[in-house]
Amino acid sequence: MTSSSDQPTTPCVQPSLFAAIPPEVTIYEVGPRDGLQNESTVLSVERKVGMIEGLVDAGIRRIEVTSFVNPRWIPALADHMEVAAKIRRKPEVDYSALVPNMRGLDSATRAGMKEIAVFMAASQTHNRKNINKSTEDALKTYGEVIKEAQSRGMKVRGYVSCVYGCPYEGSVPAQQVIDVSAALLDMGVFEISLGDTIGVGTPRQVEHVFRALLGAGLTMDQLAVHFHDTRGTALANITVALQFGVRTIDSAIGGLGGCPYAPGASGNVATEDVVYMLSGMGVSTGVDIDKLVGISTQLSSYLARELPSKYLKAHMGHCARVGRSL
Ligand code: HMG
Ligand code: MG
């Protein structure tokens, strides 16, 4: 048997896998919107506002606070006007909200929003189920909404859902993702968030989609990622997106989340888990993980259930073992 010191040493000539990873990443917190939209326990306006202000206090600088959608479609966010009006806003923070049409834009304007997000899928059937429109009609509506929002001085983000698979149609060709993303960018959105709505994506698919989008002329500063962690692949997928240089990552406190019109969708990747991983990789987020844990612990008690965040579970287990309170 030879000892390891007897092995010939070959110098490692491969460039670092992490060479393109940015030193700083922005967390786009979707907990108050995506996180709460599918919860059967509806939090009071005061608790939602407390959650949003707590997240900002923890260092979050971009946050989606609610949806100006039809309350019959999303009852848990029916209080959108009150929530948006009651938040004590900080100038250094971008507060955004989903808007599906002109009526939603008018509500967002009255509630004082300066940024909104339009949302649609790369698949026809999810568009029909989620926003009651074909892909073509959704693009037509959003063309008008984006133009009007910009004339009111608002910034507009765009979501493209079902990037890695659709709950109704199965696999979604990358060309459809390119077409919808390019159309929204042409209409004036400043950023596309690529949604793995039902959490089916795997790292090679992420590589395929990013190569396809960049090959079609999109640039990394136009792209954000939005992974639901249904099958436990979100952090692996984020790592691939980071290797491409992504600088905006959507996540939800505690791993809350899910779309009621996407059967099988479960929580977003947890903000705590993303912040923990990035911090270990030397990537700064400006977010205080201990404060996040305080917020998700409180949310877990409000919602009377354990939240999916792995970091939160590990932290609670550690505290229980050493007899420390959370
Ligand atoms: P519709 O029924 O086709 O709308 O819904 P309509 O234009 O025919 O109007 C019907 C009624 O809705 C009317 O009221 C309108 O006034 C009212 P009535 O006359 O019957 O009393 N209405 C509204 N009320 C309040 N706010 C509005 C609004 N618009 C119409 N903005 C609509 C079309 C798009 C409104 C509906 O389908 C809807 O609200 N969908 C939202 C669904 C949703 O929020 N899903 C979850 C989003 S999560 C997601 O998409 C994925 C994401 O997280 C990324 C990812 O994970 O991939 C973003
Ligand atoms: Mg989502």
3-state secondary structure 213-241: HHHCCCCHHHEEEEEECCCCCHHHHHHHH
User: Domain residues of the chain, as ranges?
Assistant: 20-322
CB of residue 104 inside a 6 A radius of ligand 1 = yes
pLDDT of residue 3: 43
> How far is ligand 1, taken at its centre, from the CA of residue 67, in Å?
9
Catalytic residues: 259
Q: Which residues contact 75 (CB under 8 A, 6 or more apart)?
A: 42
Q: What are the residues whose beta carbon lies below 5 Å from ligand 2 (ion)?
A: 34
- 3-class SS of residue 188: coil
Spell out the alpha helix ranges (H) of 102-173: 102-110, 124-131, 135-151
pLDDT of residue 12: 75
pLDDT of residue 261: 87
CB of residue 80 inside a 6 A radius of ligand 1 = no
pLDDT of residue 4: 46
> How far is ligand 1, taken at its centre, from the CA of residue 23, in Å?
38
Fold of 20-322: TIM Barrel (3.20.20)
Ranges under pLDDT 70 in the chain? 1-10, 325-326
Mutation pick for ligand 1 pocket among 30, 70, 161, 184 (CB with most ligand atoms within 8 Å) = 70
262 and 231 in contact (C-beta within 8 Å)? no
pLDDT of residue 325: 67
